[in-house]
Structure 1
Amino acid sequence: MSSYWGYHLMLDCSGCNDNISERSVIYFFIKDLVKQIDMVAAGEPIIEHLLPGDPKQGYSLMQLITTSNICAHFMDLDGTAYFDIFSCKEYDIDLAQKIVQEYFAPEKMRVNFITRHAD
């Protein structure tokens, strides 16, 4: 896979457990994910609860890593969550999916994986 610049895993999850509404769980999730997929965090994660009162309210997560970033959005009201793991360093996409499953127990997970390269 070294002929590509980057690797981008996108997970669209539905039927998640109540952990999607718990800031502390989201914090421990990102710390665990970064460690297990062998990335290096560049600072602390940003975790903010956004759009209160809106149907799309929930936590948004941004973790810079030395090789790019990990983002996630958690919707309180409908139990959905969306994850993007983008890195120029190769990582185990199956392990990343397993960690999401362990923390948020989605009933359904739509998986998209693409390689990135400008040329």
Structure 2
Amino acid sequence: MQVLTEYRRIQHQGEAHYGQHLLVTALGCNENILSIESMYHFLQNMADEIDMVRYGPPIVARFGGGIETGLSGVQLIETSAIMFHTNDAHRDMYLDVFSCKTFEESTVRKVLDEFLAPTSVKTELLYRK
């Protein structure tokens, strides 16, 4: 049985991969992290800045209870999705950017810094087969 792999168009270390997946932990963000409207614009801007085609409008909602209250949001893109979860009490954000089209980690960081000015950022970049 022949396995087709044309859809694996991202090259990393000499191998074909399906997608690039950036995981970001951003701690100590500014007050924009508390605003549904600001985070809606964050998702739109992130998609535009990393050169993705947005599919519909973002969805951003606040829910949870007590110390687990925060926002969750998603912007579908033609090549996958950008999504986040936040914690209001600590102003922390957990962001995932996944796409089968390449993007620059430095651009994600630039948008993050401009919108949320976190005091600490940790990233992990995975290549998905």
TM bracket, shorter-chain basis: over 0.9
Q: 1:30 aligns with which of 21, 25, 43?
A: 43
- Distance in 2 separating the partners of 1:39 and 1:115: 18
List alignment gaps of at least 5 residues for structure 1.
none
Superposition misfits of 4+ residues, deviation over 3 angstroms: none
- Distance in 2 separating the partners of 1:63 and 1:31: 7
**Secondary structure of residue in 1 paired with 2:45:** helix
Residue 7 of structure 1 aligns with which residue?
20
Matches within 5 A, 1:66-105: 66-105=78-117
List alignment gaps of at least 5 residues for structure 2.
1-9
* Higher RCO (CA 8 Å, separation ≥ 6 residues): 1
| Amino acid across the alignment from 1:65 | I
**Secondary structure of residue in 1 paired with 2:17:** coil
- Distance in 1 separating the partners of 2:91 and 2:57: 25
**Secondary structure of residue in 1 paired with 2:66:** coil
Given the two structures, how large is their TM-score scaled by the length of structure 2? Answer: 0.86
Q: 1:65 aligns with which of 77, 83, 90?
A: 77
What value does the CA root-mean-square deviation take over the aligned residues? 0.9
Residue 119 of structure 2 aligns with which residue?
107
Given the two structures, how large is their TM-score scaled by the length of structure 1? Answer: 0.93
The aligned length equals 116
Identity %: 34
Residue 17 of structure 1 aligns with which residue?
30
> Which is higher, the Rg of structure 1 or of structure 2?
2
- Distance in 2 separating the partners of 1:33 and 1:14: 18
